[in-house]
Homo-oligomer: A and B are copies of this chain.
């Protein structure tokens, strides 16, 4: 499957009194990774929500922290879809310091597709390409 990298700098707001980035903020960075992944493959998550009311709801999230990230440092998030079908998608992330070229954290999220009433739905075919779903007869 394809992968994509996005870059940004650590915000002061993201640090805590330990002098490093607060652990929950890595999950926000994974969200940025997902958004830029969709943009890189030619779509926008925003459009799925706006046009068709399809929500990408997180059912599981995990992060392993290797080295602390610090204020104003550049961060690179590499996002990969490791599994996807009409009902769910699994992302993996590597959060890197691109300057010294090392991984700071590795994480994953699992999502299901919901409608606005928060009921599970099957992904519309027009969005298959966003998730790298090939859509053979076995997909349904």
A121 interface hit (Cβ, 8 Å): no
Which of B57, B58, B72 touches A44 (beta carbons < 8 Å)? B72
Give min CB distance, A108 to chain B, whole Å: 9
Residues of B within 8 A of A64 (CB): 59-60
If the complex has contacts A12-B16, A35-B12, are A27 and B24 also in contact, measured as CB distance less than 8 A? yes
A11 interface hit (Cβ, 8 Å): yes
Number of A positions contacting B (CB below 8 A): 39
Give min CB distance, A120 to chain B, whole Å: 13
Which of B11, B16, B23 touches A15 (beta carbons < 8 Å)? B16
Give the docked Cα–Cα distance between A28 and B25 (Å).
10
Q: In A16-39, which residues have CB < 8 Å from any B CB? A: 16-20, 22-25, 27-28, 31-32, 35
A118 interface hit (Cβ, 8 Å): yes
